[in-house]
């Protein structure tokens, strides 16, 4: 539930902020009101596209069985981990210019296609966030309680709406930039947990050699099958009895993330 809440909160917050940026531009540049109506239509279309992706994923899963289903679900975990990582690094590189880019895209779309262009920009912006959310939640659903996942997703959506409203009203001196930086770190930690969940599936199916298994046993300190240990494992990828190959993949992931983060900071 906690992971679902956080993922939906973070992604929905970005979608709400994007919608707010687009609405503010239209309020200042569209006297007729047609652009704002097109914006709301585009936002609804973006949500619809994300839901369509979710329906397609479930349809594909229902049509698979055996090894094919295992491969599909494992691939989804790796895709979700990769998308989260890519999103965080992209935001690190482009976060400061996203507002001006959205304004430029909206201005160009309005000049070319009028209200339809506004709707397309809004739909694509929201569909991107929504599609990522669907894939993330599908990955989380591979090893979690579906009811808790739904509750976490709905409360995350409500939390994002409240956060965006507080930011718009400037209440409680809410620092959105700080929240996004902290949430980016937590998202990377969650991505590493999804990565390790995929690695566990590869090890369990015999598709990845463990090399040394286990490399150590820290279950006396914190067993990853206990309630607290399972929570930490789901959030961070902690393993009380890790295989060497899994540990190498985990360290390689963080090495690449840190290197990419430093390169972006230098640029």
Q: Cα separation of 227 and 246, whole Å?
A: 22
Q: What is the pLDDT of residue 115?
A: 62
Helix/strand/coil (H/E/C) assignment for every residue in 122-184:
HHHHHHHHHHHHHHHHHHHHCCCCHHHHHHHHHHHHHHHHHHHHHHHHCHHHCCHHHHHHHHH
pLDDT at 257 over 80: yes
pLDDT at 259 over 80: yes
117 pLDDT band, cuts 50/70/90, is low
Q: Of 171 and 181, which is predicted with more confidence?
A: 181
Which of 7-21, 77-91, 112-126, 159-173 has the highest mean predicted lDDT (pLDDT)? 77-91
182-212 tens-digit pLDDT: 778 878 888 888 899 899 989 988 899 999 9
Q: Cα separation of 118 and 112, whole Å?
A: 10
Q: What is the pLDDT of residue 228?
A: 77
Q: For tokens 């240990």, name the residue.
A: 229
Q: Are 178 and 95 in contact (CB under 8 A)?
A: no
Q: What is the pLDDT of residue 96?
A: 61
The pTM of this model reads 0.72
122-179 tens-digit pLDDT: 777 777 777 777 777 777 776 666 777 777 778 878 887 787 777 666 544 556 666 6
């Amino acid at each position: 539930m906690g992971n679902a809440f956080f993922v939906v909160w973070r992604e929905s917050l970005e979608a709400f902020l994007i919608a707010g940026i687009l609405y503010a531009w239209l309020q200042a540049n569209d006297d007729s009101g047609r652009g704002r109506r097109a914006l709301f239509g585009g936002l609804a279309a973006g949500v619809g596209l994300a839901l369509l992706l979710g329906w397609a994923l479930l349809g594909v899963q229902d049509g698979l069985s055996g090894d094919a289903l295992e491969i599909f679900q494992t691939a989804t975990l790796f895709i979700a981990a990769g998308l989260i990582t890519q999103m965080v690094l992209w935001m690190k590189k482009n976060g400061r210019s996203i507002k001006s880019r959205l304004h430029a895209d909206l201005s160009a779309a309005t000049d070319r296609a009028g209200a339809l262009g506004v709707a397309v920009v809004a739909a694509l912006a929201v569909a991107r966030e929504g599609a990522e959310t669907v894939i993330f939640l599908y990955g989380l659903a591979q090893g979690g309680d579906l009811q808790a996942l739904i509750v976490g997703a709905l409360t995350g959506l409500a939390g994002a709406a409240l956060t965006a409203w507080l930011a718009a009203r400037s209440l409680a001196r809410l620092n959105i930039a700080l929240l996004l930086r902290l949430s980016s770190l937590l998202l990377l930690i969650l991505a590493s947990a999804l990565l390790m969940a995929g690695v566990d599936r590869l090890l369990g199916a015999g598709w990845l050699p463990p090399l040394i298994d286990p490399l150590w046993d820290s279950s006396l300190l914190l067993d990853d099958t206990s309630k607290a240990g399972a929570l930490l494992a789901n959030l961070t990828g902690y393993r009380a009895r890790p295989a060497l190959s899994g540990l190498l993949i985990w360290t390689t992931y963080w090495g690449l993330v840190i290197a990419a983060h430093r390169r972006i900071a230098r640029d």
